[in-house]
Amino acid sequence: MAKSEDSEIFLQIADYYSARLAQYGASARGVDWNSEESQLLRFEQLIKVIARTDSFSLTDLGCGYGALYDFLRSRYPCFSYTGCDVSAAMIAAAQARNSSAVNTRYVLSSEPPEVADYGIASGIFNVRLTRSDSEWRSSVEATLDAMNRTSRCGFSFNCLTTYSDVDKMRGDLYYADPCRIFDYCKRRYSRHVALLHDYGLYEFTILVRREV
C-alpha cells in the first residue's frame, strides 16, 4: 500500500476516534469498547507478554485517552511509558488525564517513535471503515512489522475474530483469521508466539516474545 493511502487511512481513523471521544468523553465507549469491564479484560490478556519484574519500557500504540497507563501503574512499580495515537484529540485527552505522571509521554504518531522493551496495541486493527479486507490486512501487517522492529522483548495485540457470530458482525469492522495471524507472526517474528482465544470476547490476543 502506498504511503499516501496509508496517510489517508490514518486520517479517517483519527476522525472516527476523535468523534467517539467528543461524544462519550475519556471512557471505554470513547475508544469504541462496549464497557470498561471488557476493556480491562483485554488489558489482562495483553500484559501477559510482559515477563520483567524489574523496570521496563513500553509503547502503547493506539493509546487513546491513556487507560492502559492506569492499568499498568496498578500492577507494576517501575516502568516508562510512551503512548502513541493518530488522533490529536486523544493525545490531548491522555496528556490532560495523566499530566502529573512521571516517565510518561504521548506522541501523535501511527508507529512507535523508538525502540522499547514491549509494545502493546489494543483495538487498533478493528475499525477499517470502507477499506477492503486486502487493503486493511496490508495495513495491519505493516503495523505489526513496525511493532516488531521497535520491541526488544516482545509485543502483543488483539483483533476481532472471524469466529464471531455472523449476525453480529459489522461491515465497517475487520475480523481477522486467528490461525492466519498466528502463522504470520510465528513465521516472521519469533518462535515464541501465543494465541489467546478463550477469554469470552469476540476477539483474540497474540503475544510475540523474543524469549521465554
Q: Note down pLDDT in tens along the chain; length 212 residues.
A: 444 456 888 899 999 999 999 999 999 999 999 899 999 999 999 999 999 888 999 999 999 999 999 999 999 999 999 999 999 999 999 999 988 888 999 999 999 999 999 999 999 999 999 999 999 999 999 999 999 999 999 999 999 999 999 999 999 999 999 999 999 999 999 999 999 999 999 999 999 999 86
DSSP strands (E only) in 54-150? 56-61, 79-85, 104-108, 116-121
Does residue 51 sit in helix, strand or coil? coil
Query: What's residue 205's pLDDT?
Result: 98
Range of the domain at 36: 3-209
Give the 3-state secondary structure of 162-210: CCCCHHHCCCCECEECHHHHHHHHHHHCCCEEEEECCCCCCEEEEEEEC
pLDDT at 2: 42
pLDDT at residue number 8: 85
Q: What is the pLDDT of residue 52?
A: 84
Residue 5 has what pLDDT?
Answer: 56
Model-level pTM?
A: 0.94
User: What pLDDT sits at residue 43?
Assistant: 98
The answer to whether 121 and 61 have CB atoms below 8 angstroms apart is: yes
**133-149 and 178-188 helices cross at what angle (nearest 10)?**
40
pLDDT of residue 101: 86
pLDDT at residue 50, rounded to an integer: 97
**Are the C-beta atoms of 176 and 161 separated by less than 8 Å?**
yes
CATH number where 190 lies: 3.40.50.150
Q: Say what the pLDDT of residue 7 is.
A: 80
Count of structural domains within the chain: 1
The grid cell for 119 is: 509494545
Largest CA distance in the chain: 45
Give the cell for residue 14: 483519527
pLDDT for the residue numbered 133: 92
Q: Which long-range contacts (CB under 8 A, 24 or more apart) does 26-29 make?
A: 26/65, 26/93, 26/97, 27/65, 28/67
pLDDT of residue 58: 98
